[in-house]
Amino acid sequence: QKEVEQNSGPLSVPEGAIASLNCTYSDRGSQSFFWYRQYSGKSPELIMFIYSNGDKEDGRFTAQLNKASQYVSLLIRDSQPSDSATYLCAVNQGGGFKTIFGAGTRLFVKA
Amino acid sequence: DAMVIQNPRYQVTQFGKPVTLSCSQTLNHNVMYWYQQKSSQAPKLLFHYYDKDFNNEADTPDNFQSRRPNTSFCFLDIRSPGLGDAAMYLCATSTRTSGVKDEQFFGPGTRLTVL
């Protein structure tokens, strides 16, 4: 079983729609959860982090965490073509130094 | 601007010829990481430094070594690159004072090609 699982996609949404990206993790002791955006050929860029159950909003982005279900998601409202990228879910296990990354979901926003 | 810098951005080496990748940071972060990322795969942690303390992942091949001469710089040495080592190598930093936060800031990466 992979430690951090994401649908590889591609997830295709029209411009202006809400994109919903999902991630599950296996370690119940995980405490910190991150979403990174990675454009093709570039390095990951942190866009959101969440530590507590519930929702966290930052501009067009909302991260949702449900520790009981071991599930974290990212919503992108008013999707733009510039949001087209791979979104990596990352989970820090137990407060240590190891952060496990998922393989990412490719998002394509059609103009 | 505070940042993480990697050099070179592209590196071509021959099979078995040692190569060194470098990373520097102006963020004054105490933790530095090296990741290997192959196409369409998750970044894979190779090792990290917490200040001067070196931590190797159990599945990191012995072919990969690292040095951190000071807070700002960290190097990745690949002693005898094989074709399977062709990948993007990512350097990241974070600051660890207390708690569980581990927001990592990545450099632009070095794309390694092995001929």
Return left, alpha or beta for B63; rule: phi > 0 is left, psi -120 to 50 is alpha, else beta: alpha
Query: How many CB atoms within 10 Å of residue B109?
Result: 25
Residue in B43, B103, B108 closest to A49 by CB: B103
User: B99: exposed, middle or buried (C-beta count within 10 Å: 0-12, 13-18, 19+)?
Assistant: exposed
Q: Which residues of A touch B49 (CB under 8 A)?
A: none
At B82, list the tokens. Answer: 């094989």
pLDDT (0 to 100) of residue A95: 65
- Picking from A90, A30, A46, the residue whose alpha carbon sits closest to that of residue B43 is A90
Sites in chain B below the pLDDT cut of 70: 1-2, 97-101
Give the amino acid at A5.
E
pLDDT above 80: residue A111: yes
Mean pLDDT computed over A87-96: 85
Chain A residue closest in CA terms to B41: A103
